Amino acid sequence: IINCGLANQFVASDWLPLYVRRGTELNESLDRALAAANTDGRQAVDGGVVGQVRELYLEHYRPLYLIFDQFEELFILGSSGEQKRFYETLRELLTIGATCKVLIVIREEYIAWLSELEKVVPALFDNRLRVERLNDSHLARIIVGTTRAAGIRLVEPVVTVTRILENIRDRRTGVDLANLQVYLDRLWRADVARQAAEAPAQVTFDPALVDQVGKLANVISAFLDEQVVGIEAALGQRGVVKPQGIPLEVLFALVTEEGTKRNLDIAGLMDAMPGNRNIEEAHLRFCLAEFERLRLVRPLAAG
């Protein structure tokens, strides 16, 4: 949403976006992001985050937008000291005016955790936007438009689209666009198999096909199984003995008990692997590269 939707509302000369994820420590990640953006290598005269921001503004003459994505990681994984240090940094940043803007992206269920930050920044909630799920009407238009653009024949559009939405809807969170993309891909593959042709003249989506593919949980499970088998085979070709289970262990190591990503660096991930699993760093990096290519995970934290 930020990379595409918000970015498209700006002319490149109007803003300098800097995306920051917590990584292993939010304050350190912010320092690294600011240092990486400082392309001319000049050191800030007054030092610190505020000095680095001013230096970037003087270098580019564009307001810096610090975008803290998945901010809930600070509460899930961060210490009290890390949180307090960041709150003070944020308070200082807001004193320098238009030179720097701050965007905090956080899951709705963690809004209440911002109460301590609000004490430091009383105007925290003055400008906020709730990003809502698309309703069925919008989703139906997306499905129809996608099939039309791809040259897919849509039989009984109202019935077919309704069944697609029923199959991918989560009772708690609604319909996720990423899941819709995976589901449409599975429908396409299922019709190709149904026609028993590697390159059919036209792919068709109809109610019977949707019923055949079934619920999203089955589709996601099948998709993940396919990718895991492929990565295991590739690990075997790279000389790994008994590669079965390694890709899933990597994924499990990257997930917290709350279901969010544990944004480890490579050393942290090596430590998080099961004790009985002796895997070389090069093979671990290969698994990560494959998951990133498949967009199952984001790049690891620096460190």
In whole angstroms, what is the distance from residue 270 CA to residue 274 CA? 9
Residue 161, Cβ density class (10 Å: 0-12 exposed, 13-18 middle, ≥19 buried): buried
Q: What is the DSSP letter of 20?
A: E
* Residue in 155, 278, 165, 296 with CA at minimum distance from that of residue 225: 296
Show the tokens assigned to 146: 């996608």
Q: What is the pLDDT of residue 258?
A: 66
Report CA-CA distances (Å) from 221 to 118, 179, 226: 41, 12, 9
DSSP SS3 for 101? strand
**pLDDT tens by residue, the chain, 303 residues:** 676 677 777 788 888 999 998 888 999 999 999 988 887 666 655 668 888 898 898 888 888 999 998 899 899 889 999 999 999 999 998 888 778 899 999 988 899 999 999 999 999 999 998 887 788 999 999 999 999 999 999 999 999 999 999 999 988 778 888 889 889 999 999 999 999 877 788 999 999 999 999 999 888 888 889 899 999 999 999 998 889 999 999 988 888 776 666 777 788 888 888 876 778 889 989 998 898 888 777 776 655
Unique residue bearing structure tokens 């290598």 = 41
